[in-house]
């Protein structure tokens, strides 16, 4: 009895990691989280489906500026299979600028689906799911001494959400992590990863993102996260996605049979009365700069004009041929591109 009481008392302290504590593996059982962790039934939960037609543009949202991401002052990183995700610890030298406070990096981890299923991301964009999503977790180091102190405070955490899509090209940056997945197949296994430029895991454009107040996506679901979900996705290869979906187990080496570590994403939660903000004007084409848009518009205009002129000449030429056959005299005024048939 004493141990039961002790465990119940310690549970909230054990579950200190962000997005890491999957009491119920996979999407099944998520509906029961709130009965054990009341915050999971709160009104500001994550993830969400970002409906762009309801998003509000906020011109004051500055670009996210990762500091020391490119040159982390650290010994090698440590990659861990914690049974719920694969997590890489980040050095405290890495932090974010451009947010309401200074947020220091703690760790990054991934969410993904399973073979043959298109989903795996936690956030959705206009109902669209993506095969995977990476989260880079930070805590408010201006106000709190560490993540344990910050994790349940309304302004405690900031997480970057990067939606991953699959394509033909291998993403070299993600290989810095994926090449070591085979070394952390079972829960509890760790491997040392040489330090690399973590900025390369993020999308090129850090000025276009969605921002809202939400929660951890795993129990205890504290509503303490300032979310930044980038509009631009990052592509990994089909082979890399396949490796992520197949390489890991949620069970340790002792357990038989081993249970694949898949579908570690939470279903989208109700937005309720929250507002999702965008750092860019709504309706803008984020993938193109203003110059590129002007070039495209002029290209289309000239292309259309060219097609019209070509069609005009062809039609007129056919008409002239017909009339020439009938013995009519033809005067062609080519300098002004008009044809007169006499």
| Helices and strands in the chain: count of H runs, count of E runs | 6, 17
* In the complex, least distance from residue 218 CB atom to Zn ion, rounded to whole angstroms: 7
* In the complex, least distance from residue 132 CB atom to Zn ion, rounded to whole angstroms: 11
Residue 19, helix vs strand vs coil: coil
The Cα–Cα gap between 224 and 81 comes to: 25
The Cα–Cα gap between 51 and 173 comes to: 30
- Give CA separation, 11 vs 16, 58, 83, 177, in Å: 9, 39, 17, 30
Positions in 91-120 near Zn ion (CB under 5 A): none
* In the complex, least distance from residue 209 CB atom to Zn ion, rounded to whole angstroms: 16
Would you state the structure tokens that stand for residue 334, as one six-digit string?
């080519």
Q: What is the C-alpha radius of gyration for the chain, rounded to an integer number of angstroms?
A: 27
Residue 236, helix vs strand vs coil: strand
The residue within the footprint of Zn ion, chosen from 79, 103, 120, 135 (CB under 5 A), is 135
Stretch that binds Zn ion, among 112-120, 128-136, 167-175, 234-242 (CB under 5 A): 128-136
- Count other C-beta atoms under 10 Å from residue 60's C-beta: 6
Of 135 and 211, which has the nearer Cβ to Zn ion? 135
Positions in 262-301 near Zn ion (CB under 5 A): none
* In the complex, least distance from residue 112 CB atom to Zn ion, rounded to whole angstroms: 11
* In the complex, least distance from residue 227 CB atom to Zn ion, rounded to whole angstroms: 10
Task: Please tell me which residue in 28, 54, 84, 208 is annotated as part of the active site.
Answer: 84
Site string for Zn ion, 203-222 (x = CB under 5 A): --------------------
Of 218 and 240, which has the nearer Cβ to Zn ion? 218
Confirm or reject binding of residue 243 to Zn ion (CB under 5 A): no
Of 262 and 280, which has the nearer Cβ to Zn ion? 262
Place of tokens 């004051």: 60
Q: Applying CB under 5 A, what is the total number of residues that bind Zn ion? A: 2
Stretch that binds Zn ion, among 132-140, 165-173, 247-255, 262-270 (CB under 5 A): 132-140
Confirm or reject binding of residue 138 to Zn ion (CB under 5 A): no
Residues 149-156: contacts with CB within 8 Å, 24+ apart?
150/224, 151/16, 151/18, 151/216, 151/222, 151/224, 152/220, 152/222, 152/224, 153/224, 154/213, 154/223, 154/224, 155/100, 155/101, 155/224, 155/226, 156/222, 156/224, 156/225
Of 25 and 339, which has the nearer Cβ to Zn ion? 25
Of 5 and 14, which has the nearer Cβ to Zn ion? 14
- Which residue has the closest beta carbon to Zn ion? 19
User: Which class for 249: exposed (0-12), middle (13-18), buried (19 or more C-beta within 10 A)?
Assistant: buried
Site string for Zn ion, 7-26 (x = CB under 5 A): ------------x-------
The Cα–Cα gap between 291 and 324 comes to: 49
* In the complex, least distance from residue 169 CB atom to Zn ion, rounded to whole angstroms: 25
Annotation says 273 is catalytic: no
Of 214 and 280, which has the nearer Cβ to Zn ion? 214
Would you state the structure tokens that stand for residue 168, as one six-digit string?
């033909």
Stretch that binds Zn ion, among 129-137, 186-194, 195-203, 240-248 (CB under 5 A): 129-137
Direct distance between the N- and C-terminal alpha carbons of the chain, in angstroms, rounded to an integer: 110
Would you state the structure tokens that stand for residue 79, as one six-digit string?
């990659």
Of 19 and 48, which has the nearer Cβ to Zn ion? 19
Would you state the structure tokens that stand for residue 228, as one six-digit string?
């930044």
* In the complex, least distance from residue 109 CB atom to Zn ion, rounded to whole angstroms: 6
Per CB under 5 A, residues contacting Zn ion are 19, 135
Catalytic residue ranges: 84
């Amino acid at each position: 009895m004493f141990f039961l009481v002790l465990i119940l008392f310690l549970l909230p302290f054990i579950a200190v990691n962000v997005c890491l504590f999957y009491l119920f593996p996979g999407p099944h059982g998520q509906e029961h989280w709130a009965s054990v962790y009341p915050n999971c039934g709160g009104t500001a939960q994550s993830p969400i489906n970002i409906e762009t037609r309801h998003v509000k543009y906020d011109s004051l949202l500055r670009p996210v500026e990762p500091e020391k991401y490119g040159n982390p002052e650290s010994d090698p990183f440590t990659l861990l299979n914690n049974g719920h995700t694969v997590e890489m610890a980040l050095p405290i030298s890495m932090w974010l600028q451009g947010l309401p406070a200074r947020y220091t990096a703690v760790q990054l981890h991934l969410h993904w689906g399973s073979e043959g299923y298109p989903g795996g991301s936690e956030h959705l964009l206009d109902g669209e799911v993506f095969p995977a999503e990476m989260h880079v977790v930070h805590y408010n180091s201006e106000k709190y001494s560490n993540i344990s102190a910050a994790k349940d405070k309304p302004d405690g955490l900031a997480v970057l959400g990067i939606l991953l899509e699959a394509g033909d090209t291998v993403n070299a940056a993600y290989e810095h992590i994926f090449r070591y997945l085979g070394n952390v197949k079972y829960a509890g296994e760790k491997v040392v990863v040489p330090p690399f430029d973590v900025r390369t895991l993020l999308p090129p454009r850090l000025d276009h993102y969605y921002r809202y107040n939400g929660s951890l996506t795993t129990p205890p679901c504290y509503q303490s996260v300032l979310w930044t979900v980038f509009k631009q996705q990052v592509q990994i290869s089909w082979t890399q996605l396949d490796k992520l979906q197949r390489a890991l187990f949620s069970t340790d080496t002792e357990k038989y049979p081993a249970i694949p570590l898949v579908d570690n994403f939470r279903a989208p939660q109700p937005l309720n009365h929250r507002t999702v903000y965008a750092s860019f004007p709504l309706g803008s084409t984020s993938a193109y700069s203003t110059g590129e848009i002007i070039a495209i518009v002029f290209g289309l205009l000239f292309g259309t004009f060219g097609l019209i002129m070509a069609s005009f000449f062809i039609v007129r030429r056919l008409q002239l041929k017909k009339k020439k056959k009938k013995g009519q005299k033809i005067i062609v005024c080519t300098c002004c591109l008009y044809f007169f048939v006499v």
